[in-house]
Amino acid sequence: MILVVGGTGRLGRAVVPLLVQAGHKVRIMARGNSQPFAMTVSDGVELFHGDLASETDCREAVTGCGEVVFAASGFGLKDSDPRGVDRDGAISLVRAAAVAGVRHVVMMSMHGAALDGPIDFLRCKAAAEDAVRSSGMDWTVIRIGSLLEQRLETMTALLESKGKVPLFGSGSAPVTYTSVQDAAAVVVRALLDPALRNRVIEWGSQTLTGNQLAEALLAQAGRGSVQRIPAAAFRVLSVAARPFSPFLARVAGAGAWEESGAASFAFGPQRAEFPDIPVTGLQLGKPAG
Ligand SMILES: NC(=O)c1ccc[n+]([C@@H]2O[C@H](COP(=O)([O-])OP(=O)(O)OC[C@H]3O[C@@H](n4cnc5c(N)ncnc54)[C@H](OP(=O)(O)O)[C@@H]3O)[C@@H](O)[C@H]2O)c1
């Protein structure tokens, strides 16, 4: 049995069908708050309504599982945060998994994860990485870039509603994105291929500037314009918004981090090790260049 924590999320929804198609038994853990449970028991997937904040739920979720994929996140939630989910939730789940005899944990993380990283999310991810590395179980840490589809959805939503594509800062900083499909493919590979055990894998799909993304979206839509949010404004928001909207503060902080240029990374060397995993970049009616 493979437990996919956060199996209803953007990445989880891509991973679960791949595992089922490959003949694995899968259990999903989520609260059922931010997303409905997409699959039903008749699809061969066990659904476990559980909260990472509950040690009892963590223990129950891992019972009978040989492998775990941690794909939950509190970054995008207004009712939670990365400290509760990506750090403390991950640590609780890893502890429960080690006690229950789980053999291997795949921990989703992010490029830039570091205990002294510039944003809370990266510090939380580093703490979760440390927990799995020192757990005594086999582990794989997969550091991805921002999920490409999520960024496109955000930009497209505003283009559709307001005719404007929002751009943080200059739009000239390169950002390495990972497509959901590519992230799911490497998760499945990590579960099956011993070559990925006890390693940190940095997995990207395409490096693009905000200007390139905006131009592609505007060209596809054939209408609209760019709305720039000055770098100074989101630097201020990343601190000033904390008391009334921690979510907005997180997004602004992530924008400031991207503007610094630190969100791009060289993914070619790790990709070269696994050339059979296809690269899926920007899909706006044409394949990635
Ligand atoms: N999105 C990105 O750009 C990005 C970048 C780097 C790394 N990552 C990492 O990649 C993984 C997948 O990200 P994603 O964007 O696919 O996530 P997502 O769409 O935001 O989904 C988050 C999932 O976590 C579950 N969850 C949240 N709080 C929970 C709790 N307390 N207990 C149990 N489940 C909980 C959610 O379901 P409920 O709310 O219903 O519980 C949902 O299934 C995450 O570990 C994330 O940190 C993502």
What tokens appear for 46 in the block?
């066990």
CA 28 to ligand 1: nearest atom: 43
Nearest to 167 by CA among 233, 229, 222: 229
pTM of the model: 0.96
Q: Residue 285 — pLDDT band, cuts 50, 70, 90? A: low
Q: Is 32 in the pocket of ligand 1 (CB under 6 A)?
A: yes
Q: What is the DSSP string of 78-113?
A: SS--TIIIIIIIHHHHHHHHHHHT--EEEEEEETT-
- Residue 225 alpha carbon to ligand 1 centre in Å: 31
CA distance 143 to 121: 13
Q: Is 13 in the pocket of ligand 1 (CB under 6 A)?
A: no
pLDDT digit string, tens, across residues 150-209:
999 999 999 999 999 999 899 999 999 999 999 999 999 999 999 999 999 999 999 999
Q: Residue 281 — pLDDT band, cuts 50, 70, 90? A: confident
Q: Is 6 in the pocket of ligand 1 (CB under 6 A)?
A: yes
Least confident among 65-79, 100-114, 269-283: 269-283
Chain center to CA of 220: 26
Q: Is 117 in the pocket of ligand 1 (CB under 6 A)?
A: no
Residue 215 one-letter amino acid: E
- Report yes or no: 139 and 123 within 8 Å, Cβ to Cβ: no
Q: Is 86 in the pocket of ligand 1 (CB under 6 A)?
A: yes
Chain center to CA of 266: 18
pLDDT digit string, tens, across residues 138-147:
999 999 999 9
- Report yes or no: 100 and 1 within 8 Å, Cβ to Cβ: no
Beta bridge partners of 70: 5, 107
Q: What angle do CA 206, 210, 215 make, to 5 degrees?
A: 95
CATH architecture of 2-146+180-204+267-271: 3-Layer(aba) Sandwich (3.40)
Burial class (CB in 10 A: 0-12, 13-18, 19+), 82: buried
- Residue 232 alpha carbon to ligand 1 centre in Å: 29
Q: How many CB atoms are located within 10 Å of the residue 268 CB?
A: 9
- Residue 7 alpha carbon to ligand 1 centre in Å: 8
Residue ranges per domain, the chain?
2-146+180-204+267-271
**Closest residue by CA, ligand 1 atom 24:** 72
Q: What per-residue string of b and e applies to 32-65 under the rule 16 or more CB within 10 Å gives b?
A: eebeeeebeeeeebbbbebbbeeeebbbebbeeb
Question: Strand, helix or coil at 53?
Answer: coil
Residue 289 has pLDDT above 50, yes or no: no
pLDDT value of residue 271? 95
CA distance 4 to 105: 10
Q: Is 151 in the pocket of ligand 1 (CB under 6 A)?
A: no
- Residue 114 alpha carbon to ligand 1 centre in Å: 19
